[in-house]
Amino acid sequence: MLKQFGKWNRVYSQLENHFVGKSKKGGATYGWGFVKPTLAFYYGRTNCFLQNRTSSLFKTGKLTELSLFWPDPNLKLQITTRFNAKKERGTQKIDPFEFKNLPFNSKFSVRSNQSEQAKKAVNYNVQGLLIRLLRVSHPHELNITIKRGKLIIQKPGFLKDLLPLDQFIRYSLDLFDQLMLISTDGIDFLNEDNATILESVTCPICSEQIVEQMVMCAKCKTPHCRDCWEYNRRCATFACHGTSYLETVEV
């Protein structure tokens, strides 16, 4: 057990460096058994907290959870896989609504007390990010809620390896960016019904024209080749320091 905590703590220490945060080590405590490692960091001005805890939400009885501040305390939203589909409090009496994307409907159940806002928020790009999050470890289970001013993303089990944890955090931050864009008045250029067409755009990393797989920095909106971004792991614009991107809609 202690050897497992040693590896687990080293992974969280690496994440602390990646996301410029503060981790707390897990291990044995006097009189309390074992505590699990945690990570706190800021994403822009948003405070984020990564933890592992026991829960009856998933069949494993365990989950990995990232929580972020959400500006609307009145919004209640749940996006869960139909595989587990355990309803959160406040959504039990709300019927799920459907989307045009039939494969998405077959995988996810969506409920909200603000259905029109939720339908707008869970657009083509958000659905793609949800599929990515679903594929990180335990590829059939995912639970996302917005309630009491928090966005909470949960995967079953205790994620202990660097790659799935890094993917889980980065995809969750991308999801936060997308949801915030749709929730901000006057900013819906990534909405599938109002896509902006960009032509003759040059990637700042490879200096080549971007023909396909274009992504945009979530912070400064500079277009990049997706492969170049994945290689560089951040925006190439001077002084931007953005670490997450938005996928553009192909038209």
Q: What is the DSSP string of 141-201?
A: --EEEEETTEEEEEEES---SHHHHHHHHHHHHHHHHHHHHHHSTT--TTSTTSPPP--S-
Last residue of a domain, one of 140, 157, 183: 183
pLDDT, residue 32, reads 64
Question: Residue 211: is its pLDDT beyond 80?
Answer: no
Q: How many domains does the chain have?
A: 2
Q: Are 94 and 112 in contact (CB under 8 A)?
A: yes
Checking 219-223 for CB contacts under 8 A at 24+ apart, the result is 219/44, 219/244, 221/246, 223/198, 223/248
Confidence of residue 178 (pLDDT cuts 50, 70, 90): confident
pTM of the model: 0.70
Within a domain: residue 189?
no
One domain, residues 199 and 177: no
Residues above pLDDT 70, as percent of the chain: 81
- Average confidence score pLDDT of the chain: 81
What is the Cα–Cα distance from 166 to 185, expressed in whole angstroms? 31
Give SS3 for 125. helix
Q: Are 131 and 232 members of one domain?
A: no
Mean pLDDT of 221-226: 85
Residue 222 lies in a domain: yes
Q: 51 and 140 share a domain?
A: yes
Q: Is the domain of 51 the same as that of 111? A: yes
- Domain residues for the domain of 239 are 195-251
pLDDT at 244: 82
- Judgement on whether residues 58 and 175 belong to the same structural domain of the protein: yes
Q: Looking at the domain assignment, is residue 6 inside a domain?
A: yes
Same domain for 71 and 151, yes or no, is yes
pLDDT digits (tens, 9 = 90+) for 182-198: 665 433 333 334 444 44
Q: In percent, how much of the chain has pLDDT > 90?
A: 30
Both 199 and 96 in a single domain? no
At residue 184, the pLDDT reads 52
Same domain, 88 and 117: yes
Of 136, 152, 183, which marks where a domain is finished?
Answer: 183
Judged on CB neighbours under 10 Å (0-12, 13-18, 19+), 29 is exposed
Contacts of 144 (CB under 8 A, 6+ apart): 77, 78, 79, 80, 130, 133, 151, 152, 153, 154, 175
Poorest-confidence range of 136-140, 148-152, 182-186? 182-186
Residues 159 and 60 in one domain: yes
CATH of the domain at 228: 3.30.40.10
Question: At which of 161, 183, 205 does a domain end?
Answer: 183
Q: Do residue 12 and residue 128 come from a single domain?
A: yes
Is 188 domain-assigned? no
